[in-house]
Structure formats: C-alpha cells, structure tokens
Chains A and B, each alone.
Chain A
Amino acid sequence: MKFIDEYRDAESAKKYSDAIAKITTKPWTIMEICGGQTHSIVKFGIDELLPKNITLVHGPGCPVCVTPVELINKALKIASKPNVIFCSFGDMLRVPGTEKDLLSVKASGGDVRIVYSPLDAVKIAVNNQDKEVVFFAVGFETTAPANAMAVYQAKKGVIKNFSILVSHVLVPPAMEAILSSPECRVQGFLAAGHVCTVMGYEEYYPIAAKYKVPIVVTGFEPLDILQGIYMCIKQLEESRFEVENQYSRSVQEKGNEPAQNLIREVFKIVPRKWRGVGEIPQSGLGLNDEYIEYDAERKFSVEDITAEESPECIAGLVLQGLKKPYDCSAFGTKCTPEMPLGAPMVSSEGACSAYYRYRKYILK
C-alpha cells in the first residue's frame, strides 16, 4: 500500500542508522512528543538502531494518558446516569478512575458505546431523542477539528440532546512546561506530525529560539522517525536550533486552515490540568460561549468532582520523560494492560503499553 510500506524498508532504515552513527560525536537526548511515535520506536526497535550515546525520551503526546483522574471520574458519573448514552474512543474505556473504569460501568448496565468518529455520537443523538448523548472529547490538536465539527453540526441541526466532555490539550505549552522544568534533559524534539498537519509549525519558532532546541516535525513510520532523528542530531552537532519539517508529505508550515478556522469558531484556549504534571496555563481547549450548551460538565453539574492519583503509578514522570516504564515498581506485575493502574498502560499511544507489548524481556 502506498505511503506506508515504503517507509518501513529495512535497507533504507539501515542506511539512515549508519548515517546517524557517522555524524554523532557527542551524547544527545531527544524527546519524541507523540505517543504514536513512541509506539513506532519501541515496536520497530528504532532506539536499538541508534548509537549508544543517543537517548530517546518519551514525551506526553498521549491525550488519553494526560487526562486527569478527576475527568475520568466525571465521565463515570455521567455514564452511570440511566438516561445517558456515553460515547467514547475505544481506549478511554479501560482507563481507571479512582475506583473503576467506563468498561465496568458498561458491564453494570450503563449505555457506554465505542465510536470511531465524534460524528457517530451526533448520529446516535439524532436517533435517540429521548436520551442524552455525551461524547468524551479527548485529544490533542489533531482531534480538535473533528470534535469542533461535531459540536458545530449539532448546533446547526439544533440537536439539543448532545454534549461533549472536553479533555483537549495543546502541544506547545506542554513542550514549554517540560523545557522550563529544572530537571529537563531534553536537547532536541521530534514534534508531532499529525498535530502539525492540522496546526502547522509556526508556533514552534519562538520555542526553538527561546530554549535553543532544534525541533523537527516528524512522521510515524520507521523511516520518518529515523530521518527526523538524523535531522535533529545534525542540528545539535552543528549547534543550530531551528524548526525543520521532516513530514513534508503531510505537513505544511501554515497547517490546515479550514480546520483551524473551525477550531477557533467552536473552542477557546483555557488552562488545563495534565495528569501527573499539574495545571499548565493556556494549555487546553474549552468550548466558546456560543457553544457552551454543548458542555457536558456544565450540563450534568460535575464541575466540582476531584480525585486522588494512585500512589504507585508514576505516569506523570513517564510522561515528562523523567522515568522509563520499566522504572516503575508496578510495571508488568501489578500494572498490566488487563489491570492498569494508570492511563499509559491502557492507551494505544501510552509509553507503558508500548513497552509491555514489545519489550517484555526488560522486566526485571
């Protein structure tokens, strides 16, 4: 199939790996932002193709993983109501709240449904006028155009029994939070290719300049990641700190403007709490005033719910790249994909689930 297989060619991968080894003269630490990139790296063993003095650190680019426990608890409260159909992407169903997850609400008789697209949830609302349909709108900027369209179409169609529980987060503020932490060891970034497909990469110029870090917008296939790493190391070796675009087949500098327009129409930038990190100002999206009737937190009065995190789960440290999944005392023993303590073990983009699936032999 075009646009996938070619980027998994082993011979080309070896060439990139050799080229990286050739130009690397010093130790460097690079963070890949997106959970999809983390999975690709761990699955294809890309980190094992790199010289030993290059360290790849996994970033917080897993929107499921950074959704705070209290938002899960709010989802659980809403989903447990008898007249609610609660719709969600698949991997949110097994993320544990304080006591249980959405799948157990479903098992107890709650109407919890997995949908592929937020528009599916709108259709469900149209077909079930006697119920309240709520969609768990989790995601980075990549998913914002889809969620914006769902709310826009609901308002246009005067669909009153639909609302979204918003957990939208933005990448650039997260990068700044990581870079401004005193423990930060990251010297270069592979930026998230699909986030940038939507948003472009102009927002990264000031970050690269302020923190003097190279930022390479990178795709997800093995060759994309290897080329992104090559470009990043080349900059580091040459003491440059620019924004470059490896994923140019999908990403343009200005991004997708129709998508950005609808995001701006429906959403505004708000402070957001990130699981394991805390509140980051201006780091999330919330509904604009004209669309506030579609805000499920308000509709169901769950704004005041709070929660404690599991004491053993080190998701926050993993998400900031300060620890690896196997550093966790519960990894693979008390915490597995079947019985997760935290989100990174459940999510298809979580670092812990990537290591569990592809690197079990590292278990001590």
Chain B
Amino acid sequence: MCLAIPGKITSISGEGFERTGKVNFGGVLKDVNLAYVPEAKIDDYVIVHVGFAINTLNESEANKVFEYLKEMDELGELDQGDSEQ
C-alpha cells in the first residue's frame, strides 16, 4: 500500500513506541503513531500511512519541484535567446 498523505502535527503525547499525536489533514484530526519520527515537533508536517507517520516532510526539499521548473524556464529562455541571434 503506497497510499500515504501529509498532515500537520497539532499535539504530541507519550514517548518511544507509544509516542502519538493529533495530526490535521486539511481540517480532519486523527490520532497518529509518531514512534518512527522521534524528531518530529508540533507544526511539522508528516507523511502518514495506516495510522503511522513514516517520515517528516522536508519543506526546503518540497520546493525543489518548483525550483527545478524555474531552472528549466531560465534555460529555455537562454535557448530562445540563442535562436534569435
């Protein structure tokens, strides 16, 4: 099953394997086990699969999809510049 979705941690309780939190998925709050993301804090986004956070989402990496596009845009403009000469 690859179906996992991002949500924002709003509260945390417990420790170790019993560490859980309330995670907000676009307005819906669910209890999520945070045992596998010991470094996750309140307001972090986590990726959740069958009630478990399997990683925290890295915001600076998240922007790379769009930075990549911008780079391609800029290269594209350079190409166009060349062909006009």
Contacts and interface: CB of A to CB of B under 8 A. Distances in A.
A249 B57 contact: yes
Contacts of A117: 33, 50-52
Interface in A1-55: 1-4, 6-7, 12, 15-16, 19, 34-37
Contacts of A7: 65
A143 interface: yes
Given A6-B66, A119-B33, A153-B17, A249 B58 contact: yes
A181 to B, nearest CB: 23
Interface in B27-85: 33, 35-38, 45, 47, 49-52, 54-55, 57-59, 61-62, 64-66, 68-69, 72-73, 76
Contacts of A118: 50-51
Contact of A224 (B6, B58, B65, B69): B65
B3 A149 contact: no
B: contact size bracket: 35 or more
Interface string B1-12: 111111010000
A188 interface: no
A250 B55 contact: yes
B3 A36 contact: yes
Nearest to B6: A3
Contact of B50 (A4, A89, A262): A89
- Dominant SS among interface residues on chain B: mixed
- Dominant SS among interface residues on chain A: helix
A318 interface: no
A248 interface: yes
Given A120-B51, A143-B50, A145-B52, A197 B4 contact: yes
B36 A220 contact: no
A68 interface: no
Interface in A242-256: 246, 248-252, 256
A62 to B, nearest CB: 8
Contacts, number: 120
B51 A139 contact: no
Contact of A248 (B38, B49, B50, B64): B64
B52 A152 contact: no
Contact of B73 (A15, A193, A251): A15
A146 B49 contact: yes
A120 B52 CA distance: 12
Nearest to B59: A249
Contact of B55 (A34, A116, A197, A227): A197
Contacts of A139: 1
A70 interface: no
A140 B62 contact: no
Smallest CB-CB A-B distances: 10 pairs: A117-B51, A249-B62, A3-B6, A36-B2, A248-B61, A1-B26, A249-B61, A34-B2, A194-B2, A259-B36
Given A12-B65, A37-B2, A146-B50, 8 more contacts: A6-B66, A15-B72, A34-B2, A119-B51, A192-B2, A195-B2, A197-B54, A223-B65
